[in-house]
Amino acid sequence: MRTQVAIIGGGPSGLLLSQLLHQKGIDTVVLEKKTKDYVLGRIRAGILETGFVDLMREAGVSDRMDKECFVHDGAVISFGDTEFSINFKDLTGSHVVVYGQTEVTRDLYDAREALDGKIVFNTDNVTIHGADTDTPFVTYTTDGTEHRIDCDYIAGCDGFHGVSRQTIPLTVRREYEKLYPFGWLGVLSETPPVHEELIYACSDRGFALCSMRNENLSRYYIQCSLSDSPEDWTDAAFWTELKRRIPAKYAERLVTGPSIEKSIAPLRSFVTEPMRWGRLFLCGDAAHIVPPTGAKGLNTAASDIHYLYNGLVQFYEEADREGIDRYSEKALARIWKAERFSWSTTNLLHRFPYQNEFDLKMQRADIDFLRDNREAQSVFAQNYVGLPY
Ligand code: FAD
Ligand code: DHB
């Protein structure tokens, strides 16, 4: 098989790139390790920046999103006995939208299938060859048969555990990582959200987040121990703990119900540099991970896709390599800022095992400054709604 861009990974990054390139007549093949149902079953992000929404529009896949998404002009922050709202609209003129990653992925699969886009599922042993030459190719097996795709470029969109990043030699690749001493236990329930805005809460018992997908689908998270497993938490225990961590007025009106999904995600900050090696480009979780506080994971994947898509179009339409040559530099400049925001918001709102009295006072001073200072809120809001591409 031959294609212009071989895309490894059929998550949101790979699908969005494939769909965008299709709009410009650039041919792609997407290789996905799992089944479509498996990919659609993963409950992950829920908050999209307007930059992401614009890319979905440019890709021609925004009809359902435009109808069903919810615009959020602000969010609530609570810390012990203090609570305040940050109004993104007043502070930045912008907003975020609530539309689940599952829905984004479903819309992208539907669009690729309607246009006969080539997506190969259940691929094993995906291997990248000659990424540092002018004749790269990818091999993989399905049902025990080996296949080969020759291509001009390879987009590594295969997430944190994929093969693309590992293909870049350690003499070239540099990785930066920070692990946090806790995870997030997430619950999805068919109950109305406790409040119209998201609530980011820090209490003596740890962090909690009240989020949502629609009027009757809520997503809640609590900070938990890394040694916990979802089975350790009954629904009743989850709701009791959540109520203890959010302000009483919300706890009193929280509607609880059976969980329809429960999972634990460890928290990690991670960046690999460079994001390009020869004809291989890394995008999304394959290149970087943020802790989820601040909802930047999926949104940073989208900004990578924006830079790579535009670089590839510039190459194919104008024979100009400037965009692809500067891909890594442009993507990383934005990534590091999103890493900083996610790291600082995580530090601001979680309980750490080694915090002493002084550390707690510093955290409280940070919160009080944010509550009382419009400029500090403006900085938070600019980061939350998404830095410009
Ligand atoms: P992925 O979604 O990981 O997609 C990569 C795809 O590549 C997968 O489908 C995988 O099966 C496939 N793949 C892997 N290896 C291979 C291979 N060798 N060959 C072929 N295919 C391969 N972000 C937020 O903003 N908010 C959240 O609440 C949030 N929660 C999260 C919870 C969890 C458990 C995780 C893991 C992430 C979460 N994120 C969240 C982050 C967000 O979901 C990711 O940033 C986003 O999924 C990145 O998209 P991606 O396409 O780059 O990677
Ligand atoms: C969600 C996840 C986040 O990490 C976040 O900051 C906000 C919302 C969510 O899954 O809804």
Low-confidence ranges of the chain (pLDDT < 70): none
- What residue type is 97 in one-letter code? V
125: burial class by Cβ within 10 Å (0-12, 13-18, 19+)?
exposed
How many angstroms separate the CA atoms of 215 and 212, rounded?
8
Torsion angle, alpha carbons of 211, 10, 15, 119, to 10: -140
> Which bound ligand lies closest to the C-alpha atom of 49?
1
44: Cβ below 6 Å to ligand 1? Answer: yes
Rounded distance from Cα 25 to ligand 2 centre (Å): 35
With beta carbons less than 8 A apart as the criterion, state whether 351 and 205 touch. Answer: yes
- Catalytic pick from 288, 296, 330, 350? 296
Rounded distance from Cα 45 to ligand 2 centre (Å): 6
CA 363 distance to own-chain centroid: 26
Half-sphere exposure for 207 (CA within 13 Å, toward CB): 28
210: Cβ below 6 Å to ligand 2? Answer: no
Rounded distance from Cα 44 to ligand 2 centre (Å): 8
Q: What are phi and psi of 84, to 5 degrees?
A: -155, 165
Rounded distance from Cα 50 to ligand 1 centre (Å): 20
291: Cβ below 6 Å to ligand 2? Answer: no
How many angstroms separate the CA atoms of 143 and 146, rounded?
9
Q: What is the pLDDT of residue 368?
A: 98
Q: What is the pLDDT of residue 295?
A: 98
**Which of ligand 2's atoms lies nearest the C-alpha of 219?**
11
With beta carbons less than 8 A apart as the criterion, state whether 95 and 52 touch. Answer: no
Which pTM value belongs to this model? Answer: 0.98
Rounded distance from Cα 295 to ligand 2 centre (Å): 5
- Residue among 184, 195, 221, 263 whose CB has most ligand 2 atoms within 8 A, to mutate: 221
- Residue among 42, 44, 47 whose CB has most ligand 2 atoms within 8 A, to mutate: 47
Q: What are phi and psi of 245, to 5 degrees?
A: -100, -10
**Which of ligand 2's atoms lies nearest the C-alpha of 43?**
10
72 is catalytic: yes
56: burial class by Cβ within 10 Å (0-12, 13-18, 19+)?
buried
- 284 in helix, strand or coil? helix
Angle formed at CA 78 by CA 76 and CA 82, multiple of 5 degrees: 120
- 8 in helix, strand or coil? strand
Q: What are phi and psi of 75, to 5 degrees?
A: -145, 155
Inter-axis angle of helices 12-23 and 50-58, nearest 10: 50
How many angstroms separate the CA atoms of 351 and 181, rounded?
10
What does the pLDDT look like over 149-201, one tens digit per residue? 999 999 999 999 999 999 999 999 999 999 999 999 999 999 999 999 999 99
- Catalytic pick from 153, 180, 200, 327? 200
Q: What is the pLDDT of residue 55?
A: 98
45: Cβ below 6 Å to ligand 2? Answer: yes
Q: Going by C-beta distance under 8 Å and a sequence separation of 6 or more, which residues neighbour residue 254?
A: 194, 239, 242, 243, 246
- Sign of the Cα torsion 171, 174, 179, 184 reads negative
> Which bound ligand lies closest to the C-alpha atom of 296?
1
Half-sphere exposure for 132 (CA within 13 Å, toward CB): 5
How many angstroms separate the CA atoms of 80 and 94, rounded?
28
CA-closest candidate to residue 183, choices 221, 235, 223: 223
Q: What is the pLDDT of residue 259?
A: 98
